[in-house]
Amino acid sequence: MTVAIPAAQRMDVERYGVMTLIRQLETEAERQYKLARIGGYCHLSSGQEAITVAAAQALQHEDLLVTGYRCHGFALARGVSPEAVMAELFGRSSGCAHGRGGSMHLLDASRGFYGGWGIVAGQLPIATGLALALVRQGRPQAVLCELGDGAVNMGAWHESLNLAALWQLPVVFLVINNEYGMGTSVERASAEPELWRRAESYRMHGERVDGNDLEAAVEACERLLTRARDERKPAVLEALTYRYRGHSVADAGTAYRTKDEVAAHQTQDPLVRTRARLIESGVAASELEALDREAAERVAAAVAFAEADPEPDVSELAAGVYAPGSADQFERMRPGSPLGELDLVFEGGLGE
């Protein structure tokens, strides 16, 4: 059967392809973590793919993206290659943060992705400043700042929203409400659990969307980002979703919720819902299955790439810590240095 598929559906098919890539890459990341080939913290976003892809793809080419540490999906949806993501998780030199960041600090400035940041709510003031710079530079773009529901009780949230509203900055604060900040439910953490309502305190627009509904999420993200670009107005968008895995790979995710609760949410799985809707609109199931297979192949290729990619060279340990030209400033600091400092840091290209 051949049916003419409308353009909007075609884009959702593409988005489905990114969603299945995220799901499969993170599933593989957990496997690699358990094989001890990925270290540190590793926070998975399985269950959150619809809002992730909707938000990242609502960005125009020169818009900016800032996220918290649950950032694998955002990196992939912003166009960072699976190879660069997996190599970073492996700590290799071709990783998107050249082995300096790991899971929490994926980034790619060339794609306007100004970081996965690791301190809850720490990225909010930075996003506010990026938006301030856009205004100062007369640039028409906007900033999307992702945060989790746990971040809304930090002072940085209040200060950033107040500044963004006071100065009318083009930034959309996307609150991914997956119901838990680590193991503490939103109801146990927030006196106002309808998080979008907090925007009212700043006379800022706020709204809530079903983050597992791809179409609704795309519509909300595109509309609020357009408003930010055109009218220079900030907004809060709360997206309701759920994470299937624990807070991080090290958390089984069972101490604070029941298996039945997780299973109930899985009936609303964004991939399942998106697949059903696309098939209903005439997309062939075989096409979506082909996307699933293609994603699996890309993940396998990314793992193979990461395995073969060299570790960063110790001789470059200090690279980037200080700006080029700083080596001369630090030249006279050598006498009396702690053991190893001269070899590891000064010979490691400090500020060269």
Partner 1 sequence: MTATAPHAQPLAVEVMTYREALRLALREEMQRDPRVFVMGEEVGVFDGAYKVTAGLLEEFGPDRVRDTPISEEGFVGAGVGAAMLGERPVVEIMTLNFLLVAMDQVVNHAAKIGAMFGGQVRCPMVIRTPNGAGNQLTAQHSQSFDQYFAHVPGLKVVAPSNPADAKGLLKAAIRDDDPVLFIENLRIYTEKGPVPLDSESVVPLGRARIARSGSDLTIVTHSYATVRALHVAERLAESHGFNVEVVDLRSLRPLDMETVAASVAKTNHALCIEEGWPTYGVTAELAARIQHACFDDLDAPVERLGMAEVPLPYSKPLETAALPNEDRIEQAIVGMLS
Q: How many residues bind partner 1 (CB under 8 A)?
A: 52
Which stretch in 179-187, 195-203, 271-279, 319-327 sits in contact with partner 1 by CB under 8 A? 319-327
Nearer to partner 1, 121 or 220 (CB): 121
Which stretch in 205-213, 221-229, 234-242, 321-329 sits in contact with partner 1 by CB under 8 A? 321-329
Q: Is 114 in the site for partner 1 (CB under 8 A)?
A: yes
Nearer to partner 1, 111 or 245 (CB): 111
Site residues for partner 1, 130-169, by CB under 8 A, read 130-134, 136-137, 155-156, 159-160, 162-163, 166
Least distance in Å: CB of 303 to partner 1? Answer: 23
Token pair recorded at residue 215: 């179409």
| Cβ neighbours of 195 (radius 10 Å) | 24
* Angle ∠(192,198,201) on CA atoms, nearest 5: 125
Mapped onto helix, strand or coil, the DSSP state of residue 6 is: coil
Task: List Cβ neighbours of 200 (8 Å cut-off, separation of 6 or more).
Answer: 206
Which stretch in 14-22, 55-63, 101-109, 203-211 sits in contact with partner 1 by CB under 8 A? 101-109
Any alpha helices (H) in 281-334, and if so which ranges? 285-308, 326-330
Nearer to partner 1, 101 or 246 (CB): 101
Nearer to partner 1, 112 or 253 (CB): 112
Site residues for partner 1, 326-345, by CB under 8 A, read 326, 328-337
Strand partners, 177: 240
**Side-by-side strand order, sheet with 171-177:** 113-116, 64-67, 143-148, 171-177, 235-240, 205-210
Burial class from Cβ neighbours inside 10 Å (0-12, 13-18, 19+) for residue 134 reads buried
Least distance in Å: CB of 250 to partner 1? Answer: 22
Burial class from Cβ neighbours inside 10 Å (0-12, 13-18, 19+) for residue 302 reads buried
Residue labelled with tokens 């959150």:
48
Nearer to partner 1, 53 or 151 (CB): 151
Residues that bind partner 1 (CB under 8 A): 64, 97-98, 100-101, 105, 107, 109-110, 114-115, 117, 119, 122, 124-134, 136-137, 155-156, 159-160, 162-163, 166, 319-326, 328-337
